Amino acid sequence: MSTVNAHETVLGIESFGADDAPLVLLAGGTTMLSWPDALCERLAAGGRRAVRYDLRDSGESTTKDPQAPAYTLRGLAADAAALVDALGGRPAHLAGIGVGGMVAQVAVLDHPGAFSALTLVGTRAVAPGPPDDDLPDHDRATMSRLFARPLPDWTDREAVAEFAASGAEILGDDPAAARALAARIWDRTPGTAPPVQMANQMRLVFARLDCQPRWRERLPEIEVPTLVVHGRHDRFFPVGNGEALAHEIPGARLLVLDDAATAIPDAAVDAITEAMLTLG
């Protein structure tokens, strides 16, 4: 892992593959590790330079005050474009997962010359908060169970890992995989600011970010090849959100993962990799 200076901020990155044909992976709520190692390695084996990175205020990127951000969602989108420039300036395939998928949409709309293709995984076309009336919202019963749990001691690695595992079980994801991932995230920045706590704070930050103007109405302006990937059993952003994205972005391909929920399962890595490499 290393860092680069982009858009007047330091971004923690990890690269897989040769130093050409960049494919930039925009993080979701769990820092860069929301993109599985296996997927990054398969993309690299397919001839791409896969670069996953931490958003501001998470992981190894610049951290100031996650509870009071001095930037907007559009600023995070500008970071993605600046990172592409720092990597050599060649137009890059941009992929975003979860909330990172929202940032990716804005990045491609605001900085079209920086990107050659777009992949959106488990996301939707509106900012955090209540969706448009025609889009399915979070499953209420699932959210009630998820947020009714007592928070763990964020300085206790095992407690944090178990908290992540219980959340994954509620969401329909693999608890063992979530437990291992949370431990890895914790290990990246142990001490007084555990990274899983930072990820939780990031979710609060996104809820307050200024996401104006709305970008959903601009989706027909996207001209790059686009892939939309969504788990059929996603309870956080139900699959109707992915279907809407694929419908509203011209020429977009929709890949629904029949056995997936919110996270990318190991069994889906091959299908996602093949679809992304075919896209460009």
Domain edges within the chain: 2-131+193-279
Three-state DSSP class for 222? coil
The answer to whether residue 241 scores a pLDDT higher than 50 is yes
CA gap 245, 272 in Å, rounded: 17
- Per-residue pLDDT tens over the stretch 64-120: 665 666 777 888 899 999 999 999 889 999 999 998 999 999 999 999 999 999 999
Determine the average pLDDT of the residues in 163-186. 95
How confident is the model at residue 5, as a pLDDT?
80
> Percentage of the chain with pLDDT > 90?
68
- Per-residue pLDDT tens over the stretch 248-260: 999 999 999 999 9
> Percentage of the chain with pLDDT > 70?
89
- Per-residue pLDDT tens over the stretch 37-62: 999 999 999 999 999 998 887 777 77
How confident is the model at residue 29, as a pLDDT?
72
- Per-residue pLDDT tens over the stretch 189-225: 655 455 555 555 555 455 555 666 789 999 999 999 9
Q: What is the CA radius of gyration of the chain?
A: 17
Compute φ and ψ for 144, nearest 5 degrees.
Answer: -60, -45
Length of the chain counted residue by residue: 280
List the end-to-end C-alpha distance of the chain, in Å, as a whole number. 25
CATH class of 2-131+193-279: alpha beta
Q: What is the pTM of this model?
A: 0.93
Q: Which of 55-69, 129-143, 147-161 is least confident?
A: 55-69
Q: Order of strands across the sheet with 115-121? A: 2-6, 9-16, 49-53, 22-26, 92-97, 115-121, 226-231, 253-257
Three-state DSSP class for 116? strand
The answer to whether residue 6 scores a pLDDT higher than 90 is no
Two tokens at 59?
Answer: 């992981």
Residue with tokens 């190894």: 60
The string over 222-245, giving b where at least 16 C-beta atoms fall within 10 Å of a residue's C-beta and e elsewhere, is bebbbbbbbbebbbbbbbbbbbbb
How confident is the model at residue 203, as a pLDDT?
53
User: In 3D, which of 149, 148, 164 has the Cα closest to residue 196?
Assistant: 164
Kind of pairing between the strands at 115-121 and 226-231: parallel
**Residue partners of 108: CB distance under 8 A and separation at least 6:** 94, 115, 118, 222, 224
Predicted confidence band of residue 127 (pLDDT cuts 50, 70, 90): confident
How confident is the model at residue 202, as a pLDDT?
53
Cis-peptide, bond into residue 213, ω within 30° of zero:
yes
How confident is the model at residue 192, as a pLDDT?
46
